[in-house]
Structure 1
């Protein structure tokens, strides 16, 4: 579980972007490449401690493996009949 507020923000940005790219038609291979590049950028920038990046990687991998995160959610609207 992520506990650092900055790591949580990076996680939220990363997962939101992966879902957005999925809805734009990118596949899981492309999402994995995006994830790897994002993590490599964080590592090279040194904005998080290495153990935080490793934890972020674990949580992001778990998110990516759970395909329910990428399913469309159908919303039901109320219709008034008179």
Structure 2
């Protein structure tokens, strides 16, 4: 579980980027390469501690493996309520 606000922000940016790639038609492999590049940049810049990057990586892989994160949401139709 991620607890540091900065790490959570990086996680959100990473997962938003993966979802955006999915909506643009990218495949799983392309999203994985994007994720690995993102994590490599974090490692090289020393923005956050190594153990935090490792936790972020675990959570990002979990996100990537969950197909429900990439399903298109079906809009809910509002029903008109009959008032008696």
With the length of structure 2 as denominator, give the TM-score of the two structures: 0.91
* 1:59-74 correspondence runs (5 A): 59-74=59-74
Aligned length, in residue pairs: 80
Q: Secondary structure at the match of 2:10?
A: helix
With the length of structure 1 as denominator, give the TM-score of the two structures: 0.93
**Runs of 4+ off more than 3 Å:** none
Distance in 1 (alpha carbons) for counterparts of 2:70 and 2:14: 13
Distance in 2 (alpha carbons) for counterparts of 1:8 and 1:75: 28
Distance in 1 (alpha carbons) for counterparts of 2:43 and 2:6: 14
Rg larger for: 2
Unaligned runs of 5+ in 2: none
The residue that corresponds to 2:58 in the other structure is 58
Q: CA RMSD in A?
A: 1.0
Unaligned runs of 5+ in 1: none
The residue that corresponds to 1:48 in the other structure is 48
